[in-house]
Chains A and B, each alone.
Chain A
Amino acid sequence: MPGISPPIYLDHAATTPVRPEVAAAMSASLAEDFGNPSSGHAWGRRARGRLEAARASVAASLGVTPDRVLFTRGGTESDNLAVLGRIRHDLEAGVVPHVVTSAVEHPAVLEAAERARREGGRHTVIGFRAGAFDLDALEGTLRDDRPGLVSCMWVNNETGLVLPIAEIGLLCRRHGVPLHSDAVQAVGKIPFEWAEAPADLLTLTGHKIYGPKGTGALIARDFGTLRPLHFGGGQERGLRPGTEDVAGAAGLAEAVRLAVAEAPAESARLGALRDAVETGLLARIPGARVNAGSLPRAPHILSLGLPGADSDTLLAALDASGIAASGGSACASGSSAPSGTLAALYPGDGAAALRLSFGRLNRSRDAAPVVLAVAEAVDRTLSLVSP
């Protein structure tokens, strides 16, 4: 079967390649700072220096003070710590835990929030009404129930949908409820002032922004309302004990610095590419729909709803023709699982989802071959639908 050569990677929302600047920062750290940052001797001081420089760099990139930056081992861990850490805090304080989330959260938030229910507390899910995030329902539960935490992602990983985080933040502040936001798909994609971020807790991860896998951070205005999930050391305020990954922190810091610095230009570039592919595919595929198309979207994700198509087969056909894409989101088995996000946005709709996510590996000249290959693969999979 003729394929695109060289292949085109359109799965930047799943993960991204480590960029050379990041690799260089990490290599330097790996070569020079093997010491344990907790040690009092010269080797320890040197590693600690690199770790704290990384923290200061992340803080500077985001416009916060370094004491707000807690290094974790990834986005899932940051999400878990924000949500479960709060649930544990409330349980210790004798308060019935109550976590409010949007319906489109990553499982790292949703499944953590479900723990509140298992601990005898509550998990309230806010959905969409008339095609928009249901701010009225959120305000209702904030006013009536005084939850311990609201967790609402900034940019949805499956559709690129940008949640109305400013409004959500305002409501949370008005009712005195802390807001956590998983911002892993927002960093470097939407330009905004981090110091003004309306969230009290933010999740970052390295590998979505050309940094190393297994690195992340939780940015917090106040760590006092969290309890640890790991035990055995005082590192990272005791909230993430364990000998620090100094090279990972250095890589994350460099990735965040570059992502934030380049966000305005890169998001404009990706938005133009995304628009070209979107326009081309809508013209070529009758019945195709842009998921969350009527809502604000981040520039790097295009999620198509394809009625009558088979998502698994389409992705396999695209892979065979040299295009890396994904369905709703990458499931550990590789098979499409029902997407909570799409179910919330399009209840009762069985359209297959195709997610193309753009990034540094893509150029504007990719648009034409991508449109051709995707349209052709969709044609072929539509023909196999059995009666």
Chain B
Amino acid sequence: MRILVAMSGGVDSSVAAAMLVEAGHDVVGATMKTFCYSGEAAESRKTCCGLEGIRDARLVADRLGIAHYVFDVEDEFTRDVIDDFVSEYGRGRTPNPCVRCNSNTKFRDLLKRGRVLGCDGVASGHYARLERNNGEPMLLRGRDRSKDQSYFLWGLPADLLGLLHFPLGELTKPEVRSRARQLGLETADKPESQEICFVPTGNYRDLLAKKLLPTHPALSPGAIVDTRGRIVGRHNGYSGYTVGQRRGIGGGRAERYHVLEIRPATREVVVGPRELLEVGGVVVGELNWLTAPPEPGRNLQVQIRYRSPALACTVAALNRDGIELRFDEPARAVTPGQSSVLFDGDRVVGGGRIDRVTNTGY
């Protein structure tokens, strides 16, 4: 089988490519140039050419003896990922850009190019598993729970599932690193990437300031209020806040206050004590299903952030626009804009973006 493997230059996708080669597939490497790291037009061409990830991916591909291509997907990435990121913060929500990239750029846009090259499938270095149940592809959590990335994959177009390959699904991160060393891959000891790739400074507000008008409400000062509407402080733009966060409140009361809610219409950031972060339910929109949609009354597990355990829940209602879930136990820091991913055991059922919380304590 001819498989296009998405190679970021990191250790995971490098090992994924190596494993596919070992398995005897006809492997083609691809790195997507998603954006220009430098906004300076005069320097950007040079900077892009020097992108470390592209260079590393190419070195690894050469080592593996496979072809490697760079695809410029900047237009698509800007439209589907960066613009969405900015617009979500503009609405007082906290987006998962990696989900958007996986749902659009990394697989759909890459597969389109792969088909031109005669490839039958696309692979990546995600820690997730694909198994077939009577021919029906199922997306499962990666075996290494501490690295499991299935949370980021709920938005995959269901009709593409059968064309995807996740060679690392059965491995742990230390196993991947040790394989990389055995293979002599240049990227074996490369540190994990933590930052959002298109926010190399680590401060997303720099990007918002560049993309939004200075007068945009998300960047304008507003009031920090408590649950009764009393002003307890000021802020310099609600886009600097995330529900659940405990900082930036000021006035020496930081210990006691957490962000409970962001109200873009009034530019208010609502704060309160930690116990008020607990909510009983959530409404999730922009749904995507990787199985048949669950019936109301069904018991599932939901993961509301990347680094948090799945919570037992019940489907309260479902229609085309959204699903309402009730948590069996109150959940903490449920953040609008973040992905909510439904699991049935290890299997990803589907997911969406958190629209609002229900059954708050205030």
Rounded to whole Å, the gap between the CB of B193 and the closest CB of chain A is: 18
The residue from A312, A333, A377, A380 contacting B48, defined by CB atoms under 8 A apart = A333
Interface presence of A138 (CB below 8 A): no
Interface presence of B49 (CB below 8 A): yes
Rounded to whole Å, the gap between the CB of B243 and the closest CB of chain A is: 34
Q: For B344, what are the chain A residues with a Cβ–Cβ distance below 8 Å?
A: none
Pairwise interchain contact B49-A336, C-beta atoms closer than 8 A = no
Rounded to whole Å, the gap between the CB of B157 and the closest CB of chain A is: 13
Pairwise interchain contact B117-A338, C-beta atoms closer than 8 A = no
Rounded to whole Å, the gap between the CB of A321 and the closest CB of chain B is: 9
Instruction: Report Cα–Cα, A337/B33, bound state, in Å.
Output: 11
Interface presence of A91 (CB below 8 A): no
The residue from A1, A311, A331, A337 contacting B117, defined by CB atoms under 8 A apart = A1
Pairwise interchain contact A386-B109, C-beta atoms closer than 8 A = yes
Interface presence of B58 (CB below 8 A): yes
Q: For B144, what are the chain A residues with a Cβ–Cβ distance below 8 Å?
A: none
Rounded to whole Å, the gap between the CB of B132 and the closest CB of chain A is: 26
Closest B residue, CB atoms, query A338: B45
Interface presence of B199 (CB below 8 A): no
Instruction: Report Cα–Cα, A316/B113, bound state, in Å.
Output: 9
Instruction: Report Cα–Cα, A351/B69, bound state, in Å.
Output: 20
Instruction: Report Cα–Cα, A386/B72, bound state, in Å.
Output: 13
Q: For A331, what are the chain B residues with a Cβ–Cβ distance below 8 Å?
A: 45, 49
Interface presence of A36 (CB below 8 A): no
Q: For A335, what are the chain B residues with a Cβ–Cβ distance below 8 Å?
A: 33, 48-49, 54, 70-72
Interface presence of B50 (CB below 8 A): yes
Interface presence of A317 (CB below 8 A): yes
Pairwise interchain contact B49-A381, C-beta atoms closer than 8 A = no
Interface presence of A124 (CB below 8 A): no
Closest A residue, CB atoms, query B36: A337
Number of interface residues of A (CB under 8 A): 25
The residue from B48, B50, B117 contacting A316, defined by CB atoms under 8 A apart = B117
Q: For A315, what are the chain B residues with a Cβ–Cβ distance below 8 Å?
A: 69
Pairwise interchain contact B45-A320, C-beta atoms closer than 8 A = no
Interface presence of B211 (CB below 8 A): no
Interface presence of B28 (CB below 8 A): yes
Closest B residue, CB atoms, query A350: B75
Pairwise interchain contact A336-B72, C-beta atoms closer than 8 A = yes
Interface presence of A334 (CB below 8 A): yes
Instruction: Report Cα–Cα, A241/B147, bound state, in Å.
Output: 55
Q: For A313, what are the chain B residues with a Cβ–Cβ distance below 8 Å?
A: 71, 113, 116-117
Pairwise interchain contact A320-B28, C-beta atoms closer than 8 A = yes
Q: For A336, what are the chain B residues with a Cβ–Cβ distance below 8 Å?
A: 72
Closest A residue, CB atoms, query B69: A316
Instruction: Report Cα–Cα, A310/B58, bound state, in Å.
Output: 21
Pairwise interchain contact B71-A312, C-beta atoms closer than 8 A = yes
Instruction: Report Cα–Cα, A331/B112, bound state, in Å.
Output: 23
Instruction: Report Cα–Cα, A206/B112, bound state, in Å.
Output: 40
Instruction: Report Cα–Cα, A380/B115, bound state, in Å.
Output: 9
Pairwise interchain contact A334-B54, C-beta atoms closer than 8 A = yes
Rounded to whole Å, the gap between the CB of A340 and the closest CB of chain B is: 9
Q: For A380, what are the chain B residues with a Cβ–Cβ distance below 8 Å?
A: 116
Chain B 59-91 against A: per-residue CB contact (8 Å), 1 yes, 0 no? 000000001111110001000000000000000
Rounded to whole Å, the gap between the CB of B245 and the closest CB of chain A is: 37
Rounded to whole Å, the gap between the CB of A20 and the closest CB of chain B is: 27
Instruction: Report Cα–Cα, A377/B113, bound state, in Å.
Output: 12
Interface presence of B173 (CB below 8 A): no
Pairwise interchain contact B116-A334, C-beta atoms closer than 8 A = no
Interface presence of B345 (CB below 8 A): no
Rounded to whole Å, the gap between the CB of B84 and the closest CB of chain A is: 16
Within 8 A of B (CB), among A186-226: none
Rounded to whole Å, the gap between the CB of B227 and the closest CB of chain A is: 45
Chain A 324-350 against B: per-residue CB contact (8 Å), 1 yes, 0 no? 000000011111111000000000000
Rounded to whole Å, the gap between the CB of A77 and the closest CB of chain B is: 18
How many inter-chain residue pairs (CB < 8 Å) link A and B? 73
Q: For B51, what are the chain A residues with a Cβ–Cβ distance below 8 Å?
A: 333
Instruction: Report Cα–Cα, A337/B46, bound state, in Å.
Output: 9
Instruction: Report Cα–Cα, A386/B50, bound state, in Å.
Output: 28
Instruction: Report Cα–Cα, A321/B118, bound state, in Å.
Output: 10
Of A310, A331, A335, A377, the most chain B CB neighbours within 10 A belong to A335
Pairwise interchain contact B112-A1, C-beta atoms closer than 8 A = no
Rounded to whole Å, the gap between the CB of B265 and the closest CB of chain A is: 33
Pairwise interchain contact A337-B49, C-beta atoms closer than 8 A = yes
Of A315, A333, A334, the most chain B CB neighbours within 10 A belong to A333
Instruction: Report Cα–Cα, A332/B51, bound state, in Å.
Output: 10
Q: For B71, what are the chain A residues with a Cβ–Cβ distance below 8 Å?
A: 310, 312-313, 316, 335
Pairwise interchain contact B67-A320, C-beta atoms closer than 8 A = yes
Instruction: Report Cα–Cα, A315/B67, bound state, in Å.
Output: 12
Interface presence of A384 (CB below 8 A): yes
Pairwise interchain contact A381-B48, C-beta atoms closer than 8 A = no
Interface presence of B2 (CB below 8 A): yes
* Also in contact, A384 and B115, with CB within 8 A (given A333-B54, A337-B45): yes
Q: For B69, what are the chain A residues with a Cβ–Cβ distance below 8 Å?
A: 312, 315-316, 319, 334
Rounded to whole Å, the gap between the CB of B263 and the closest CB of chain A is: 35
Q: For A338, what are the chain B residues with a Cβ–Cβ distance below 8 Å?
A: 45
Rounded to whole Å, the gap between the CB of A94 and the closest CB of chain B is: 28
Q: For A320, what are the chain B residues with a Cβ–Cβ distance below 8 Å?
A: 28, 67, 117-118
Pairwise interchain contact A381-B116, C-beta atoms closer than 8 A = yes
Pairwise interchain contact A337-B116, C-beta atoms closer than 8 A = no
Instruction: Report Cα–Cα, A335/B58, bound state, in Å.
Output: 12
Instruction: Report Cα–Cα, A311/B116, bound state, in Å.
Output: 12
Instruction: Report Cα–Cα, A335/B54, bound state, in Å.
Output: 9
Chain A 368-387 against B: per-residue CB contact (8 Å), 1 yes, 0 no? 00000000010011011010
Instruction: Report Cα–Cα, A377/B115, bound state, in Å.
Output: 11
Closest B residue, CB atoms, query A311: B72
Within 8 A of A (CB), among B9-56: 28, 30, 33, 42, 45, 48-51, 54-55
Closest A residue, CB atoms, query B79: A386
Q: For B50, what are the chain A residues with a Cβ–Cβ distance below 8 Å?
A: 332-333
Pairwise interchain contact B49-A333, C-beta atoms closer than 8 A = yes
Rounded to whole Å, the gap between the CB of B4 and the closest CB of chain A is: 9
* Also in contact, A317 and B116, with CB within 8 A (given A332-B49, A333-B48): yes
Closest A residue, CB atoms, query B67: A319
Task: In the A-B complex, list the 8 residue pairs whose CB atoms are closest, starting with the nearest.
Answer: A1-B118, A335-B70, A332-B49, A316-B69, A333-B49, A334-B70, A384-B112, A337-B45
- A sample of 10 inter-chain contacts (CB < 8 A) reads A310-B71, A311-B72, A313-B71, A316-B117, A319-B69, A332-B50, A335-B71, A335-B72, A381-B116, A386-B109
Interface residues of A (CB under 8 A from B): 1, 114, 310-313, 315-317, 319-320, 331-338, 377, 380-381, 383-384, 386
Interface residues of B (CB under 8 A from A): 2, 28, 30, 33, 42, 45, 48-51, 54-55, 58, 67-72, 76, 109, 112-113, 115-118
